[in-house]
Structure 1
Amino acid sequence: MTEPKQSRSFTHVETWVFDLDNTLYPHHVNLWQQVDDRIRDFVSTYLKVPPAEAFKIQKDYYKRYGTTMRGMMTEHGVHADDYLAFVHAIDHSPLDPNPEMGAEIALLPGRKLILTNGSVDHAGKVLERLGIAGQFEAIFDIIAADLEPKPAPQTYDKFLKLHGVDPLRSAMFEDLSRNLVVPHDLGMTTVLVVPEGGQDVVREDWELEGRDATFVDHVTDDLTGFLTRLNEAR
């Protein structure tokens, strides 16, 4: 399902920028739930609070700072390397190869890049499991962003400058609508990837908002199908 909007097209796009988690694989795989659980465990152990209290702190920091890690760094002096190593030590086996999506990404004209709040190590494992690692020129992760997560404007600026990307000739695919505000303001065509209808997903209500926002140009619950239609229309 794709909801058409009166919005920017893709005819001018020469750089395709993709978020990673819950964007390049379906929400209902709930791979991120493993990371989420480990974040809670990290917060609980580090702050010496019960898991229920740690969960509240985790979600509060996530919403206020963009990532729980940024909140833990700012509020408690946590070292990013320790945090990232712990929370990304997960089982990636629930991810299945997606050669169809890989083929459609390959057909997109121009450059393809990853922009994620995760780590390069985690992103590499996800892309390898999906069988699409060879489709992307580079991964811009939280370390490259100097630990400033999306939706911080400076993170997008760093990404664009580092990789020489013209936002007026680019498209951004994301699962969180708030992470599309700055890209849209910069002139990028924006695509919100939402959960497939009827599938159970583990997300906060605010994470699923924004389908009708003015800064969201297109909405899809089937990224492969969306890319297929884009390629067919060319």
Structure 2
Amino acid sequence: MIDLSPPRLDHVTAWVFDMDDTLYPREQGLMNLVQARINAYVVEAVGLDPDSARVLQRQFLDEHGTTLAGLMANYTIDADHFLHDVHDVPMDSLEPNPRLAEQLMRLPGRRFVFTNGARDYAHRVLARLGVSDCFEGVFAIEDGDLTPKPAPSAYRRMIERFGFEPRQAAMFEDTPRNLEAAKALGMATVLIGDGHGKVIGDHVDHVAPDLLDFLTDLSLPEDAAA
């Protein structure tokens, strides 16, 4: 059952965050720019018209987790070129968020980013938000040999890389199905946003419209001792 009460995650010592539309509000529109470049790439690579390319992209997302994974399974493409091309977007729409940095640094234990985005792009986003120093590590799509969430193997590799106990971890995501493997591994799960209209199942422990608000309201052991 989804818990809508004020959150408590007293057992958590490892905090894992998706990046796009999680660390910043979807309304800031960065992913719209990335999606436009992905659509253009599919048009060029596959030879479809834009509407058909969008349909194919949605199919790839549903079946493979990312457009890149779908393209690699069905076509011969240069993955490095794809990642560079589709993530080559301006960061002007992102707003630096010092309050978020404060709340992230308040979390006890270790903090990580786990994204299906490219490594260089991830570091650009974190720098723009002003939260780079809040995280011990970033696990990007290249770190999983291009295997994306929601594949369980991607989560296991991420956990192995950072070396934490999943039963003492929490994962924050804007996509409900990307929390399924996390929950199966024993992690607490927090959905940020409305789930993009998808069904929110029992694998989601908490739902919050906004990450900053959730972290601000989060009760930590140090609060009780204060």
Q: TM-score range by the shorter chain?
A: over 0.9
1:207 deviation in Å? 3.5
1:68 deviation in Å? 0.4
1:112-191 correspondence runs (5 A):
112-191=111-190
Alpha carbon RMSD of aligned pairs, Å?
A: 1.8
Q: Secondary structure at the match of 1:13?
A: coil
Residue of 197, 212, 216 corresponding to 1:208: 197
In 1, are the aligned partners of 2:8 and 2:219 still within 8 Å (CA)? Answer: no
Partner Cα distance (2:142, 2:133) in 1: 21
In 2, are the aligned partners of 1:9 and 1:189 still within 8 Å (CA)? Answer: no
Cα deviation 1:72-103 (Å, max 9, x = unaligned): 01100212101001100111110011100110
Cα deviation 1:153-204 (Å, max 9, x = unaligned): 1000100111101100000000000000011111101000015xxxxxxxxx
Q: 1:19 to 1:52 in 2, by over 3 A?
A: same
Q: Secondary structure at the match of 2:141?
A: coil
Q: Match of 1:183, as an amino acid? A: A
1:25 aligned residue: 24
Q: Is 1:111–2:104 an aligned residue pair?
A: no
Question: What 5-or-longer segments of structure 2 have no aligned partner?
Answer: none
2:217 aligned residue: 229
Q: Decide which moves more: 27-36 or 12-21.
A: 27-36
1:143 deviation in Å? 0.6
Q: Secondary structure at the match of 1:148?
A: coil
1:229 deviation in Å? 1.3
Alignment size in residue pairs? 221
1:232 deviation in Å? 6.0
**Where has structure 1 moved over 4 Å in runs of 4 or more?**
none
Percentage of pairs with the same residue: 39
State the TM-score, normalizing by the size of structure 2: 0.93
State the TM-score, normalizing by the size of structure 1: 0.90
2:52 aligned residue: 53
